[in-house]
Structure formats: C-alpha cells, structure tokens
Structure 1
Amino acid sequence: MNPDPPETTPEISSEMAPEPSTPPPPPPSASSASISVPLIRPRREVFDHGLLPIPKFSLPDPLSLLSPLKSKLSEGSNPGHRIDAASLAESLQIPTETSSLILQTLAGVLHYEDKDLGVEGQGTADLRDVLLFLYVQGYKRLVPRASKDSPLANEVWPHASAFDGYLSALSPIQLVRSNSRKFMPSQSDEESHQLSYLQKHMANILSLLSDALEGVEGDDALVITQDTFGHLGFLMQFSEGLAITQASPFFANSDPDMPAAPVPASQIHEWISQQITATLENANEKEKGISPLKDTSAPHLSGGSTDTDITMVDALPSNSGANNNNSRGQVNNGSNPAYYRNQTFVEGFSKASVVKHLGDIKGHSVKVLNCHDSMIYILAPVSYATVYGCSDATIVLGAIGKAVKIEHCERVQIVVATKRICIANCRECIFYLGVNQRPLIVGDNHKLQVAPFNTYYAQLGEHLAQSEINPNENKWDQPFILGMVDPHDALSHPAGVSDAQSESATCLDPDLFTNFLIPSWVNPEVSEPTIMNPFLLPEAYREAQKKKEVNLKETEQTIRSLQLDENRKRDLACALHAQFRDWLYSSGNIRQLYCLQAD
C-alpha cells in the first residue's frame, strides 16, 4: 500500500499565464450526483492494459522522479513539450528499448488519437500524457479478499499441473481458483479502488500538470489551462460515455478562437474529489441495496457475471453449440448511469461453444473470464481484449485494434490478430499470433509456445482493415521479456519475492503447426469473404505445410492401392481412427468436435 503522498506540491515555473477565471458553480452533492448526473469513472484501459512491471516507476512518491523530468523537458529547447523515445531514455536513464515500450504502451491506451505519436508509438508524445502514464505506474491492484470456493468451481478447475513444484508452488489456475485462493474482487470493487487511488493522488497529479503564475501565492498560484484539463481524460471519464471536459463546469462555452482563462488547480481538485466521493457513495448504496447478487461464491459457471453492475445478458453467447442449458437471469439496469459499462463479458463457461459477432459486442472492450474446456470465438473488431483465468480452452480473438492481455491461463490455445499483446503468469499455453508489435511476456510463465497466426473467417480481412492491423507485419517470434515480479500485482508475487527475467516462449515446431478451421456455422455470409490466412506464414512453416499435403496425398494413394480383404480394411480404418482420436485429444481439437456434435 502506498503511503500518503506528501502534502506539499512542487513549484514549477512556466511562462506567464492569464489570470485565473471566475470560480465555477459548486459541484453537485454526492446525493444529487447519484440521481441526476453521470458518475465519474476511472478509465479501465489504463489500469488493465497500461501498467508495465518496471520497478523503477513503481515508487511511493512518483513526484521525486517526475517533477525533475517535467522541469528538464519543459525548457525552452522543447517549446512543443513533446518527447520521443530517445529523449525519454536519456532523461530517465533507461534503455531506449524500454522507453520505446513505454511510448508504444501509451499509444495503446490514450483516450484520443495523437497523430504525432502514431499508433505504434514511434513518434513524439505529449509530455503531459507521459507524466500521467508514468505516475499511475505506482498503482497497486486491489488485494483479494478471503473466501471459500464453491464445490462446482473445484470440480472444473485443475487441482494439479505437471509443473507444480517447478519454480512456482502454484500454477496460474491454482493461484486464481484453488481451495486456498483469495477471493477475486469484482469489477465494481476494482473501479472503487482505482477511484480511491486517483482521489488520494489527485493533488500531486494536478501539480504535475499545472502552470505556476508569477507573483501569485497561495491556492491560486498553480493553474490548469483548458488544453491541459482535457488530458485528465486519460485517467477519468464519466458514465454514459461523457468525456471529463463535457461533464465539468470548467471552460464551458469557451470560444475556440479565444482560449478561456486557466482555472486554479485547487478548484479542479475540489471538484474532482467531490465527483469521486459521489460515485463511491453511490457504489456503497447500490451494494447495500442489492447485496444478494454480490454473493459471488455461488456457482456461476454457465456464463453469468459476478458483477451486480454488469448486465447479465452481456455474458450470454449469441450463438452456442453448448451442452450447457442452464438458464440465467437478467438485470435490467435501464439508463441508470451507475450501470454504464463499455465492455462485453464472456464469463464462467464450461464445456461450451460461445460466439460473439459485431452485433453482440457492447462497447470497445471484451473480457473472457474463467472459462474452461470451451471454444470461444470473438469474431469482431474491438479495441481491447482480456483473457483471464481460463484453462483447457481454445479462444479466437478476431481483430483487436489496441491491446490484448492474457493472464493466469493454463493449457489454453489463443488465436489472435492484434497490434500488441501482453502475456502474464501463464502455463502450457500456445499463442498463434498475428501481431504488429513485439509480444510482451511478463510474470511467472512456464512452457509457453508461440506460432504464426493460423486461421481466417469470412470477415477477417474487413476487420483487420477497420482495426488498422497490418497483416504484412508479424512479430510473433520476437518476444519482449520483462521481469517475473509485477509490482502492481500482489496475487502472483507476494512481497519479498526477488525479481528475475521472465521465462521466454519457444517457437512451435513447424512440423506441429496446423491450420485452425473455424466452423461454417460461425461464419456469416458476406459478399467478399476472406478465404485464406491474411498473415503470410514463415518459410519453415510453409514448407512444413507443403510436406504434410504431400504426405497426405501419398498416404491416400497408398491406401487406395492396397489389396485388402474386408477384415484388414476394418483393422486399417480402426487404426487410422485411433490415431486421429489421439491427435484430437493431444491437440485440444476434441473440444471443437464436441461443440460441432452438440450443434
């Protein structure tokens, strides 16, 4: 837990700014905020996909690192206050490879399109965005609470791994779902924790962004300009999709040709604190009002969500060949801003086939949570995707335009086309990747394999174009390895565990590489369908494919040429079927066959 940030804020000089504007009307009270106006939210993208396990930035007092950085980079030699990877590396005394990773990750979680930075983070970033990004690297995830597992959960989750006792006492699945595991916080709990973190550190954050008025003392000495205020949208937004600039009383109705006068940072701090307090009070009242739905120790393996503020229908399959017929309730939250979410959840499925097309996706983010022994197809262009706590499953993610995170998974096959991917704390998983940036591997991983992208579906080409994913650039075999200890996560690595470089992934043997065929009932009819893998296979894998095709034809010809009686033909057929069955089980493709039979 971070200590309270120091009460004093640094005096950072700048050019003379205009006098602060007239104080805005007081913000609404907490009680009225929960009824009549949208509620403030943390931007989940920053906390889900923007945290890097770099110990240097996980400081109790980020100001000690970031204030000198701002002073150095705000000098006259940098009038635009832009920063590239080289200057960031020099200022922070870090490798350029690491600073490039920082800007790439920042580009993936920004709340607006920064053309100068570019989608790959290869350009220059706004210094204010860099400061905010580096500041939140000190965030610590919510510590899980103790709870008992349900019997059904114990039946589904593996009790042992072939690698138990090897380096790590517990596998990723055991960490998340074993009898002795800690109870994972809900989405609402995490958001409340993130808001509390922002409220605690907001004075320091505003001091980093503010300009100092010359000759002015007291609370009005530090001011926030209209342009700078918009950068707070990196951390926060309002429900109902409102940006912080749209929901605030500051800089309202300002003329674009005549920028409004800056506002004292103290006023903005007070207003944000009141908005956060109103949201936290609303969350507490909501939890008390519908506490029976908060009992997540009850079984929810048929696809229901554990969150009371997530519409249950979001977790349902749109097209399922599942042998899972449990009915699920639906919470109709209407237009209540407390329930606004821009995410789609696929949660708790076991021995099922789940399909999500574009029309089934709500928002720009998908989370696949705690699914086992299932086939999950997300065949839609979305910005973000998270796969957490899954085992013995095959998951296809069509076109993820910003970032993917795979965490605490075991014996899972992931097929994904994306710009960037982070893999953390996984075991015995295979990743078939079409990725434009180097895959980031962090945490305690074992027996990971990577391979080139191996599938297609009718709309894949269209979805790749919409997501601006380049199929001609695939860095699947160039992993970027960081440390085993994640300073943001107390679940996988408790305090006192020493850091070391995470175990890398090995490339799948080309002779073991196979194309993954998505069933025809999953593919909608389109006028110009994608009919082949848009990612070019490396030479070794192409040659292996050709060799298999030749062997198949030779085997077929050999079988046709055999002069066998009926008994020998039956014996041969049984032997071939047995070999094929063994391959289905060893490759995990038996799940897909079961789903097709159920359909």
Structure 2
Amino acid sequence: MSAGTAATKNTDVARDPPWLHVRREVFEYGILPLPSLVHSDVVTGLRNFRVKLLQQAPPISTWSLSISSDASYTSPASGGRKRVATAGIATALEVTEAHAQLMLDTLASVLNEEGGVVDSLAIAPATEIDSVGVDVDDLLIFLYIQTYRRVPSRPHRGAADVADVWPSTSAIDRFLPSPSPMQVRSSTVSRRSMPGQAEEEVNQLTYVQKHLPNLLSLLAETTEEGEGCCKVITAKKFEHLGLLLKAKNASLEYVPLSQAAPFFANSDPDMPAAPVPVTQVLEWVQQHICAASESLRAIPVGKVEKVVTDIHLSESGSVESVPSEAADVTMADVSVSSVNVASSAQTILVPNGVLHLSKDWRPEGTTFVDGVMRASVLRREDDIKGDSVKVSHCHDAVVYVLAPLKYVSVFGCSDSIIVLGAVGKAVRVEYCERVQLIVPTARITIANCRECTFYLGVNQRPLFTGDNHNLQVAPYNTFYPKLEAHLAQVGVDATVNRWDRLLTLGMVDPHDAFIHPADCTDTRSEGATLLSPEKFMTFSVPRWNEADSEMLLTRANPFLLPKPYLLAQQHRCKAAENLKQNLKTITLEEGKKRGVILAIHGHFRDWLFASGNIRQIYELQALDRLDSVGME
C-alpha cells in the first residue's frame, strides 16, 4: 500500500488523536522577501547549504549560553550540536550580515515554545540571540519554507467592496480626504477580496503536506541495513519538524512531537529509540495531520474529508523528493466554493477534497478586534483568549489592546489610532493607511502601508518591505499602569530601542497575494523617515479603574527618549505652562477676561467637533462606566 493510499484511508471519519496541526505563526511572521534564498532545486540547494553551514559552526563549548540536553540535535558524525550565528550564516549563504541577522531574529521569533522541547534560541532575549545561535537543522527548515506563498486575493469587486473598508466620511470628520477607488485598489485591499483565516490555514496545511517528503529527506540519515541503504529519522531529528507542526493528545494538550509518535514515545533520553524509516514516519504524519478545527470534536465544524496529496515512493521504498517545479503549492489548489453546505458554513476546496467550517470559525489562541468603525474599544488581559491578537479592518477608530502578547497582526486599518501592550515575539502591519501605531515589541515588520506613523519601542531593527509610501517612525511615546509588568512578562527590554535603525528589504513583490499598481513591479521598497522632534507628542492612555497596588504601577515612559525629542517635549510643556501662567496673571477687566476664556473654550470645542475627538471623549466615558461596573 502506498503512503498516499494509507494517508487517505478512512477519510469519512474524523482522525484519531494525536492530532498534528500546522503552526500558523511560522507562515504569518516567518516569511521573508529574500529571493536569493529560493533556488530552483530547493532540496539540493539546502543540502549544499548544510555543508557550508556545518563548516562555519564552531564547537559547542564556544557558545556563551548553555544548551539544554533535549533542545537540539546531536549528530554522531559531527561529535556535537552544530549551531551557527550571524557571521557563519552570512558566509555560508553569501548574504550580508544585516540579512543574516534578520534571518536569525525572525527564526527566533517563530520557534515553537509549546510541547516541552524548547530550543534555547526560542527563549533567548532579543539582545542575546546572536550569542545563542541557531541549530543548523532548524535553519534549513526555515529556509525551505521561504518558498511558501500566501493565498491569492480574489478579484476586486467594485464600489461595494470599497465601501466595506472605506466608508464615506461624515461631517464631523470632513477634514479627512476621501480616498478614491484607485487609491484603495493600489494600497489597501477590500475585506471581501481578501482570503479568510480558514483559507490561510488550509493553504498552510496543503503546503506542509505537499512538501513533507522533501522536509523529511533534509532530516534523514543514511544507514546500512542488510544489503542496501535505508533512509531513517531519529527522534531528535524528528523533533525539528516542531517548527512547522504541533501535536495535541486526546485531552487537547500540547505534547512534544516525538512523544506523540508511537515509534518514539516514552524513549529514555540516555537510551533513545531506534531510528525509524522515513517512509514509516511520513505515513504516520500524513495519517494524523489535519486542520486545527478537526480536533475540536465538541464543536460541529465539520472535518477534512480528503486534504492530502499523493506521496510517491520509489521502488526501493525510499521517499522521492517533490520535483523542483513543484516547489510551491499551486495557488489554484486552494479556493472558496461559491456554494455553501449551509448558510452558516463555509466550503473551502482543497486538493482532492473539501473542508467545511462554521461561518464563525476562528483559529484557537487568537483574539480578533475586527471591523471597528468610528468607535473606541478597549481590550485588556481578561478579554484576551490566547497569546495572539489580530486587529483588522478598523476605520476611524481608537483601539487599545493593553495586555502582554506574543504575536499581533494589524491588517487593513485606516484613519485609526492603535495602542498595543507589550508584544514579546513579533508585530506585523499590512495594508494600513493613515494609522498611528504605538507599540513596545521585540520586532516589527511593516508592509504595503502608506501615510502611517509608528511610535516604537523595539529591540530589533524595524523591517519595511513591499509597497510603502510616506511612512514615519518615532520613539515610543506613552505608558499605561501595567506596562513595565507586561514588558517583563514577555521579555521586551526597555533599555534597548532600535526604532531608528530601519531595515528596508528588496523590491516590491508582484507575485504576492495582493493587488499592486501596474507600474510597481520593478519598484524598490520604500522605507520610512524619522518624525521631526517638533511634531513628536506624548500620547496619554486613559487610566481606567485599577485594582493593582500603587507600588506596581508604571508612572512614566520606560523607554528613554532621544535627546532631541526630549528637548522638544520639554519646550512644548514649558510653552504650555507659560501660556497658562500668562492667562492667570493677565490684567484685564473682568468682562474682557471672561471673553478671552470663552473664546479659548469655544476654539477648543470647535476643534473637538472638527477632529472627531468629541466622540472619543464620550466613548472613553462609556468605557470607564463599563469598567466600573465590571469592577463591582
């Protein structure tokens, strides 16, 4: 029986545990637009890279941070774990040190921290990543998945879709220019034309299934067995697939990938389980890999009826590599059917099968703030389910997400202010226009945005890529009561802020999933400029009811302001204080003095209405009342 037949057998019933799910973080935050890393023959190219990387790997004793015994693979042939840092990656791959550092930082942000087996790089502080280095096998898998492409957007559908993201402006905010449909087409993608989260998951699942033979061949070792050679996988080698896959048992608990496999489970670290033929490993993975919704048996979200691709075996029983021309999943393989099974279900066509998901399906571990229009919203720790947040399709809104997080995605927002709590792994901002984003984070990627300002407290260089226009960056400019506690919880270092060390990467990619202007194919990506200190202002986060001890509250911005911005801020505060004193001491008749005060109040009121901030005041009052009720 072929592996493909075995993997597709009994597809009319739900798969038995353990369930293997694709880790979406790798694809959402780990794909870099570095064309030099993608070769026509991926497997051969990466095998050559392995040789060069191992030549650059120093002895394990030279690393400053110790590596736990189960954190990395020990190769008998090499005599020790093989890790490389920025300089070794740059030399072996023939890239600049800046790009090598970017690869290392990005991989560190997407390594798996669940299931018990954790590599030291995954938990290393952002400032110590280079001293820890990366396992060569993890790096090879990371380089392989750079061939992944996102689900293509569906064709633009006209004015109705434009209105879906770009509602007409009201009299209260008439000062905002109304974007034309051409602007929307070239910069921000309509919500209806975008692939949904379910489609993205299916595309990721399809990609991993299609490329499993290649991935396992990269991890395989050759052993002599009888009269011939056999490709085998050891338990520690198999654990490197944890970058792409996570395993759940029948209790829906995450377990180490090797412990989920029956041929490696319960093995003694001092006497590890015997290596297993690649064909056996491949067959088992294909039998248990599935969409994340399949393991939620209590929720009638359907099942994957048949999602696997054929796995070809050679006559000798070894796994054949996917041909080079099939290095990427064909984007036509994943689409949304126009016919739903029911009004509350979504039907997604995938290779050789169909996936039925409920209309309200959401990936686990992610909280959505979606479609907020002309309103202010507050999300705090108690409101967040999981460690990831996606803020999407918000217009003319003020969004506060004041919680410690690992990942945040901001997508398709316009004319909004978004204030995020501490983000320990990565932030990705895409297709936003006229947005102010305020965030302390380890790293941030900004793609295809325009006329936005980013106030950053960031430990690694901000990355700009894609079709950006008129972006500005500035140092972090706010605080809230639990900020320092949240920074410590997720590992963001407030003493390190690389907000002004921008990294602009490559050309605009005309083959990504989104719409670009026709003349942008050969356009170099635009970065950002530094906000003038004279325009820098502190943002005040409203203080809602706090039950914490006053001893634990943050009272000032923990990120040190650069001197020009600090002086400009002090100058502005001094000018405001002088004006206040002048108004107090001015010698006018009582009637004229009252007239001056009324004039100031009148201008302030007009500004509140013209800017739309009067709405924010009412909304903040409403949020404060709701918070007071919640505290009771």
Q: CA deviation at 1:227?
A: 0.3
1:125 has 2:134 as partner: yes
DSSP-derived class of the 1:402 partner: strand
Instruction: Output one character per residue of 1:568-597: Cα deviation in whole Å (capped at 9) or x when no partner.
Output: 445533543465467668988556334225
> What's the C-alpha RMSD, in Å, of the aligned pairs?
3.5
Counterpart AA for 1:374: A
2:109 corresponds in structure 1 to 108
Alignment of 1:461-472 (within 5 A): 461-472=484-495
Q: CA deviation at 1:483?
A: 2.1
Unaligned runs of 5+ in 1: 1-22, 297-306, 312-338
Pick from 288, 292, 295 the counterpart of residue 343 of structure 2.
292
TM-score, normalisation: structure 2: 0.76
Seen in structure 2, the aligned counterparts of structure 1 residues 565 and 422 have a Cα distance that, compared at 3 Å, is same
DSSP-derived class of the 1:122 partner: helix
Q: Is the 8 A contact 2:441 2:459 kept in 1?
A: yes
Seen in structure 2, the aligned counterparts of structure 1 residues 388 and 474 have a Cα distance that, compared at 3 Å, is same
Instruction: Output one character per residue of 1:198-218: Cα deviation in whole Å (capped at 9) or x when no partner.
Output: 111111111111111246787
1:49 has 2:70 as partner: no
Q: CA deviation at 1:156?
A: 5.1
Seen in structure 2, the aligned counterparts of structure 1 residues 382 and 395 have a Cα distance that, compared at 3 Å, is same
TM-score, normalisation: structure 1: 0.80
Alignment of 1:472-511 (within 5 A): 472-486=495-509, 489-493=512-516, 498-511=521-534
Instruction: Identify the range of structure 1 (414-423 vs 270-279) with the bigger mean alpha-carbon deviation.
Output: 270-279
Counterpart AA for 2:424: G
1:212 has 2:212 as partner: no
Q: CA deviation at 1:350?
A: 1.2
Work out the CA distance in 1 between the residues paired with 2:609 and 2:32: 36
Work out the CA distance in 1 between the residues paired with 2:39 and 2:602: 58
Alignment of 1:180-199 (within 5 A): 183-199=193-209
- What is the aligned-residue identity percentage? 44
Q: CA deviation at 1:290?
A: 6.1
DSSP-derived class of the 1:258 partner: coil
Seen in structure 2, the aligned counterparts of structure 1 residues 128 and 585 have a Cα distance that, compared at 3 Å, is farther
1:137 has 2:146 as partner: yes
Alignment of 1:60-75 (within 5 A): 60-74=40-54
DSSP-derived class of the 1:136 partner: helix
Q: CA deviation at 1:496?
A: 9.1
Seen in structure 2, the aligned counterparts of structure 1 residues 88 and 139 have a Cα distance that, compared at 3 Å, is same
Work out the CA distance in 1 between the residues paired with 2:592 and 2:346: 60
Q: Is the 8 A contact 2:340 2:346 kept in 1?
A: no
1:242 has 2:254 as partner: yes
Work out the CA distance in 1 between the residues paired with 2:540 and 2:144: 44
Seen in structure 2, the aligned counterparts of structure 1 residues 256 and 149 have a Cα distance that, compared at 3 Å, is farther
Seen in structure 2, the aligned counterparts of structure 1 residues 38 and 571 have a Cα distance that, compared at 3 Å, is farther
Work out the CA distance in 2 between the residues paired with 1:140 and 1:255: 39
Instruction: Output one character per residue of 1:240-291: Cα deviation in whole Å (capped at 9) or x when no partner.
Output: 3524334322301211220111111111112222334687982469999864
Work out the CA distance in 2 between the residues paired with 1:227 and 1:60: 29
Instruction: Output one character per residue of 1:312-369: Cα deviation in whole Å (capped at 9) or x when no partner.
Output: xxxxxxxxxxxxxxxxxxxxxxxxxxx7612111111112222222222211211111
DSSP-derived class of the 2:137 partner: helix
Work out the CA distance in 2 between the residues paired with 1:402 and 1:207: 30
DSSP-derived class of the 1:37 partner: coil
Work out the CA distance in 2 between the residues paired with 1:171 and 1:394: 19
DSSP-derived class of the 1:354 partner: strand
Q: CA deviation at 1:28?
A: 9.7
Q: CA deviation at 1:183?
A: 2.0
Pick from 348, 358, 374 the counterpart of residue 308 of structure 1.
358
1:275 corresponds in structure 2 to 288
DSSP-derived class of the 1:393 partner: strand
Q: Is the 8 A contact 2:344 2:359 kept in 1?
A: no
Aligned length, in residue pairs: 533
Q: Is the 8 A contact 1:458 1:524 kept in 2?
A: no
Q: CA deviation at 1:234?
A: 0.4
